[in-house]
Chain A
Amino acid sequence: DVKVTQSSRYLVKRTGEKVFLECVQDMDHENMFWYRQDPGLGLRLIYFSYDVKMKEKGDIPEGYSVSREKKERFSLILESASTNQTSMYLCASSFGDRSGTQYFGPGTRLLVL
């Protein structure tokens, strides 16, 4: 079974703090993704990576950065957290084939006070 794990299920941070969200997958997938999920808006892509050290902006990259130093690990960084970044963050991974099936982690619910 594909396993995607995220470092925290729940996180509470203060405005202005630097926040790291980590994601690890164990299936040797080439692609990894970070989404945020908000009620009524579905899932919106923040960043994705199709190889180690490679990254591409998604639909809503402002206020976020990412790091992929190893194939299995993809980190999302909030340089200076703001209250409008309170959300559910989901990580996903997939093979580089064209089917595009993504496998998701359990999510991190982040509250910024």
Chain B
Amino acid sequence: AQSVTQLGSHVSVSEGALVLLRCNYSSSVPPYLFWYVQYPNQGLQLLLKYTSAATLVKGINGFEAEFKKSETSFHLTKPSAHMSDAAEYFCAVSDRGTGGGNKLTFGTGTQLKVEL
């Protein structure tokens, strides 16, 4: 069984500051991990994914995430926040088809606020 924990339902940063959104996972198989972003009144958009290649994954809009097996973590970072980064971010883990259909289990989301 898979599960995802996102620490902090709301995170606030100043424009230009480091963004750090935390994600810890639990998985019975070597995980595939994802970060998605959701802008207001829109669907989810893939930011980046880890599928067992490089542990540091670069995504769109300057975001990156590092897979740390020993810490069961996949935290999302961006060196310098921009106002346009304000959105809700979801971490997800894949069951890799073990239960049929490649289901994703999502965290409860982190709302990122960027202040001037």
Contact = CB atoms under 8 A, between A and B. Distances in A.
Contacts of B41: 9, 106-107, 109
Interface residues of A, number: 30
A96 interface: yes
A98 B97 contact: yes
A90 B102 contact: no
A49 B45 CA distance: 21
Given A42-B90, A43-B90, A106 B42 contact: yes
Which of under 10, 10 to 19, 20 to 34, or 35 or more describes the interface residues of B? 20 to 34
Nearest to B108: A42
Interface of A: 4, 9, 31, 33, 40-43, 45, 48-50, 56, 58, 90, 92, 94, 96-107, 109
Contact of A98 (B9, B96, B104, B109): B96
Interface in B80-116: 90, 94-97, 100-104, 106-109
B104 A102 contact: yes
A56 B101 contact: yes
Contacts of A102: 102, 104
